[in-house]
Amino acid sequence: MSDHGLTHLDPLGRARMVDVTPKEPTHRRAIARCRVYMQPETTNKIASNAVLKGDVLAVARVAGIQAAKRTPDLIPLCHQLTIGSVYVNFVIGDADVEVEATVETLDRTGVEMEAMTACAVAALTIYDMVKSTDRSVFVSELALWEKAGGKSGGYRRSDPLEPAEAPAAPVVGIDDTDVDGLWDDSDRAD
């Protein structure tokens, strides 16, 4: 956290948008990454463009780019920025797809949220396109990996975020004794 405390709170503790008008525009860049875990057969289908819904990575790339441009519509206190570029790239592993989003701008505030949003939406798009054939698919490890520019300077994650290091999700108990048909969405027009 910065020396200035929580910048999105006014002196009375109410939410506010930070005033960036006195700042000079500077070049800013942010890189975010996450992973979409799935069965190896699913990654093979993605790699060979054999998913029935279409080219998974092409659709996910466009979804990520659109999401970066729409970040202020999703995150209430985000500033509207002029986005200079958005790159969404993928690395297909044995049982996962790594998603990386890079966003750049020449503006008064950073693009970390735009990079994180692009990454998350690209990953959710992959999830959406393969969920009908792979129920085990899940998204994990969304994190800022690098930022450059601005008054606070640069940041680079020093160590890879391994799944074992990620904070554990809270355990929620459910009664699964009567779940027949719970996941039956065969009538959906996916």
Which residues carry out catalysis? 128
> Positive or negative CA dihedral for 165, 171, 177, 180?
negative
DSSP secondary structure string for all residues of 94-144: SSEEEEEEEEEEEESS--HHHHHHHHHHHHHHHHHHHTTT-TT-EEEEEEE
Quick one: how far is CA 63 from the chain centroid? Answer: 11
- CB neighbours of 68 closer than 8 A, spacing ≥ 6? 83, 86, 101, 103, 111, 114, 115, 117, 118
